[in-house]
Amino acid sequence: MEEQFDVIVLGGGPAGLTAAIYLGRARVKTLVLDTGTVGGQTVLSFSVANYPGVEETSGRDISQTMLRQARQFGAEVKAYAKIKAVELAGENKVVELQDGSRFVARALIVATGGVPRKLGLESEARLAGRGISYCATCDGDFFTGKPIVVIGGGNSALEEALALTKYASRVTIVHEFDHFQAQPWIVEEVRAHPRIELVMEQDILDFVGEENLQEVVVAHKQTKEITRIEADGCFIFIGYVPNSAAFSAELQLNERGEIITDDNMATSLPGVFAAGDVRQKRYRQITTAVADGTVAALGATAYLEERKAA
Amino acid sequence: MLQTNLKHVESDEEFEKLIAENENVMICCGRMGPMCLPVYDIMESLQAKFPHVQFRDMDFDGPASHNIKRLPEVRGFMGLPFTIYYKNGQVVQATTSIQTEEQVLGILNRYFARAA
C-alpha cells in the first residue's frame, strides 16, 4: 500500500513535532513516523523549567501538547513505526515499513534525535537497573545512605550529581578529562560540596557485582593506576549518540555522526532537511530543537513551492 | 494514582482478583517518571494486539505495591519500573528499568503467545 504525502518527518521529538505543527498549519500534507514513543528524549526530562512561556512542567506534558497541536493542524503521527528502508536520493523520498506500508513525499525532514551514550561494557548492560542507572530522578531514592558514582563531566552529569547528594552518603564524580565541560557556576557548586569527591582523567574499566553493583573500577589515563571505587549505584551521563546511522550512506555527516546542514536545515541532498539533536550543532536543548524544527518546516515548504513553480 | 490510559491496580483486593482470575497478566509498577512512561506507552500500544493479556500499571508508592516489592524475583532491582509478567498466577518474568518495545514483545511472545 502506497500513500503520498508532501513531507515525511522522521522522528517525533520536539524538532519533528514542531516541524509537523508548522507544516500542518501551512496545509502541507505531513506524516510523522517515530520508531518509539512520541516525544523523544524530552519524555525523559522529569522537569522542564526553562522553556519560555511555560511554567515548570514535565517533558511528557510538553511532548503531549506538541503532539495534540500537530494532530490538530492535520499532521498524521505514527509511533512505534517499524521502518524497513528509507530512500532519500531521488526526487521522491520513500519510507517503507516492515508491514509493507510505503510512504512517498517530495521532501523529508530527519529529526531522529539521539540516544544516551553508553560505555559499551558487558557489565554495564548486565547491571542496568541493578545499580547502574541513567536517571537520577527515577532511581535516586534506591541509594539513600549509600555511596554512588556519577560518570561524566557535562552539565547533565554535574547537575544530577548535585541532585543525588540528597540521597547518597557520598557521590564520586568520575570524568575522563582533567576539567569539566559544564557551566562554571555548576562546577563551582560541585567543587564546594562536602559530600562530592572528584576523580579526574579516568578510564572506566569495569563494573563489579553479581546481583547488584558493588564497585566501579577505573584507571588513570596517564599513570594507568587502577582504583576500585565502592559504590551501590552508578549514574552514567556521557552525552548522546545521534540516530543517523541509517542515513550515513546518503547524507553528509561529521566525525561524530551528526548530519551536516546549512542555516536553513538543508542537508547535502535536495529536499532532505535535518533538525534537532541529530544534526551538527553545539547546543542541544528543547528550545534549540524547536527552533530547528521550525526552520526545517519553513525550508521544506519553500522547497516544495519552488518545485511547484519550476 | 498514575496518569496513564492503562487500568490501574490500586488495592490488594484488585491485585489478588486480577492474578487469580486471569491467565496472562503484565503489571508495570512505577511512577510518572522518565524511565516508566515509555513502558506504559508500550503497554498501551500493545493492548489491541494482545487482547488475551491483562495490562495494568501500579503506583510504586501506592498501597498495593508491596505485592510486587516483596517478590523474590525483584530482589536486587534498583531501577524503576519493576515490570512483572504472571502466567496462571505465577511470575514467569520480571524486568527492571526502562524496556524497549522489542524487549516487551519478546517476553509477551515467549510466555503469552496464543497457539496457532
What does the pLDDT read at residue B115?
A: 61
Contact between chains at A138 and B80 (C-beta distance less than 8 A): yes
In a domain, B84, yes or no: yes
Residue B35: list chain A partners with CB under 8 A: 44, 134-135, 138-139
Mean pLDDT, rounded, of chain A: 94
Instruction: Give the closest-approach CA distance of A236 to chain B in angstroms.
Output: 13
* A142 reaches B (C-beta below 8 A): yes
pLDDT-derived band at B113 (thresholds 50, 70, 90) equals confident
What does the pLDDT read at residue A40?
A: 85
| Selected residue of A133, A148, A232 to mutate for chain B interface (largest B Cβ count, 10 A) | A133
Query: Closest chain A residue to B37 measured between Cα atoms?
Result: A43
| CATH number for B86 | 3.40.30.10
Task: Give B65 or A42, the one with higher predicted confidence.
Answer: B65
Average pLDDT over residues A132-160: 93
Out of A46, A128, A131, name the one closest to residue B34 (CB).
Answer: A46
- For the ranges A84-88, A239-243, A294-298, B81-85, which has the lowest average pLDDT? A239-243
Average pLDDT over residues A181-191: 95
- CA–CA dist B60, B114 (Å, integer): 30
Domain enclosing residue B79, as ranges: 7-112
- pLDDT above 90 covers what percent of chain A? 84
What does the pLDDT read at residue A258?
A: 96
**Contacting residues for A228 by C-beta, under 8 A, at least 6 apart:** A208, A215, A216, A217
In a domain, B2, yes or no: no
Contact between chains at A60 and B35 (C-beta distance less than 8 A): no
What is the secondary structure of chain A as a DSSP string?
-EEEEEEEEE--SHHHHHHHHHHHHTT--EEEE-SS-TTGGGGG-S-B--STTS-SB-HHHHHHHHHHHHHHTT-EEESS--EEEEE-SSSSEEEEETTS-EEEEEEEEE---EEE-----HHHHHTBTTTEES-HHHHGGGGTTSEEEEE--SHHHHHHHHHHTTT-SEEEEE-SSSS--S-HHHHHHHHH-TTEEEE-SEEEEEEE-SSS--EEEEEETTT--EEEEE-SEEEE---EEES-GGGTTTS-B-TTSPBP--TT-B-SSTTEEE-GGGBS-S---HHHHHHHHHHHHHHHHHHHHHHHH-
Residue A144: list chain B partners with CB under 8 A: none
What does the pLDDT read at residue A49?
A: 84
Give start-end residues of each CATH 3.50.50.60 domain in chain A: 2-116+240-309, 122-236
Contact indicator for A251, A264 with CB cutoff of 8 Å:
no
CATH class of the A2-116+240-309 domain in this structure: alpha beta
Average pLDDT over residues A242-258: 94
Average pLDDT over residues A279-300: 95
In a domain, B92, yes or no: yes
Q: Is A234 a residue of the active site?
A: no
- May I ask the CATH architecture of the domain A122-236? 3-Layer(bba) Sandwich (3.50)
Q: Is A263 a residue of the active site?
A: no
Q: Which of A106, A114, A111, A48 is nearest to A77 (CA)?
A: A111
Cell reading at A196: 562530592
Contact between chains at A36 and B38 (C-beta distance less than 8 A): yes
* B88 reaches A (C-beta below 8 A): no
Out of A59, A128, A233, name the one closest to residue B34 (CB).
Answer: A59
Average pLDDT over residues A137-147: 93
Structure confidence by residue, pLDDT tens digits, A55-110: 999 888 999 999 999 999 999 999 888 899 999 999 999 999 988 999 999 999 99
B77: pLDDT strictly greater than 70: yes
Task: Give B2 or A166, the one with higher predicted confidence.
Answer: A166
Structure confidence by residue, pLDDT tens digits, A7-47: 999 999 999 999 999 999 999 999 999 988 888 888 877 77
In a domain, B50, yes or no: yes
Q: How many structural domains are present in chain B?
A: 1
In a domain, B43, yes or no: yes
pLDDT-derived band at B32 (thresholds 50, 70, 90) equals confident
Catalytic site residue from A139, A232, A277, A292: A139
* A73 reaches B (C-beta below 8 A): no
Average pLDDT over residues A232-237: 96
ipTM: 0.85
Instruction: Give the closest-approach CA distance of A302 to chain B in angstroms.
Output: 35
* A118 reaches B (C-beta below 8 A): no
What does the pLDDT read at residue B116?
A: 55
Residue B101: list chain A partners with CB under 8 A: 36, 80
* A45 reaches B (C-beta below 8 A): yes
Angle at A16 between CA A13 and CA A19, to 5 degrees: 140
What does the pLDDT read at residue B38?
A: 87
Catalytic site residue from A6, A61, A135, A203: A135
Average pLDDT over residues B12-17: 97
